Amino acid sequence: MSHKIDVVIVNWNSGDQVLECVSSISIGGDKDLARIIVVDNGSTDGSEKLLQPLMDVQLIEAGQNLGFGRACNLGARHGNAKYLLFLNPDAAVYPASLQAVLDYMERPDTQDVGVCGVQLKDEHGEISRSCTRFPTVSGLIAHTVGLDHFIPKLGHFMREWDHASDRSVDHVIGAFYLIRREIFDQLQGFDERFFVYLEDLDLSRRVKASGWRVEFLSSVQAYHKGGGTSDQVKARRLFYSQRSKIIYSYKYFGFFGATLILLSTLLLEPISRTAISILRGSLSSVKETWVAYGLLVSWLPGWIFKGREER
C-alpha cells in the first residue's frame, strides 16, 4: 500500500508542544504516513532545534514569519501524498486517529468529501466547539457587538451544538484539517492574503463552492490545547484577527456589506471590548485592545490605497 498522507505543521515559538505533536504522528501514522513536514516560521525560542535531529521530520526553516497560509502552502509543495493533513503544533493525534480518518475518506460513499475534521478535546478532556458556519454580514456584526455570546445562533461559531455526532458542516477549524491534495492543488491552496486567521475558513468556502462536502467525525478524536502560540502576542493576535475579517468581508460580501463590517469593527468593537475588559477588571486587556486597533488603523491606508496585506 502506498503512503497516503503528508502532515504539514507550521511552527512558530511552540516550545515543546511541536515535539509532542510530531511524536504523536510518528506513533499513530504507521504505514499510511508519507511525510511529516514542519515549516518553521522564524522561531526564536529554540523549538526548531528540537526537530533538527529527527530523521522522520522534514524541517523547512523559513527564517521569517511567513504567516500561516503561506507557510502551509510551502509545506504542501514538499509532499505529494493523496491527502494533506494540516495540524497545529499545539495539537496531537491519538494512535488510531489517522487510520480512522483515512478509512472514512477511502469509502465508496465518501468520494465527494473534500475536507474532514475530527472531534477535538482540550487538556481537560472537554470537547471543543471546532466547527463553524460560513459568516454572514449580520452574523459578523452580531459578533462585533458581542450579541452572539448571548444568542449563539446569530454568530458563525457553532457553540449551540455539542459536537457529539457526525455532521456535514461548512467548516472545520485548521487545527486538524484533512483535505484531498487534488482539491488543494486545484484551488491553489490557502489564500496568502490572510496572514493568519480565516485562511482555513476561506479555503473551506472555496471547497464547498467547487461541489465538495466538508464532514465532521465525532467518532474520531484528536487533542488540541487551543490558543497555542498566539497567546504570546495577544494584541497582535487581535490585530491579525480583525484584519483577516476585513479582507474576508471584502472578498465575499460586496462593497456595502463589507463596509458595514469595517465600520462596526472600527467604531463599535473597540468600545464593546473595552467595556467587557473593564467589567472583568482586566486593565491589561484594555491596553491590548487599543494597541491592536492602533495597528489596524495604521494598516488600513496601505491596504486601501496600495493593496498591501502584509505587515
pLDDT tens-digit map of 226-257: 654 444 478 999 999 999 999 999 999 999 99
Helix residue ranges per DSSP H, 106-233: 137-144, 181-186, 199-209
C-alpha cell belonging to residue 24: 504523536
Question: 5-128+163-226 is classed in which CATH architecture?
Answer: Alpha-Beta Complex (3.90)
Which residues of the chain carry a pLDDT beneath 50? Answer: 1, 228-232, 311
C-alpha cell belonging to residue 23: 511524536
At 146 the pLDDT is 77
Q: Where are the domains of the chain?
A: 5-128+163-226, 230-306
* 3-class secondary-structure state, position 115: strand
Ramachandran angles phi, psi of 68, nearest 5°: -70, -50
pTM value is 0.93
At 309 the pLDDT is 58
At 243 the pLDDT is 96
At 230 the pLDDT is 46
Instruction: Give the alpha-carbon dihedral of 198, 180, 186, 247, to 10 degrees.
Output: 0
Nearest to 174 by CA among 162, 184, 159, 186: 184
Cα 48 to Cα 69: distance, rounded to the nearest angstrom:
19
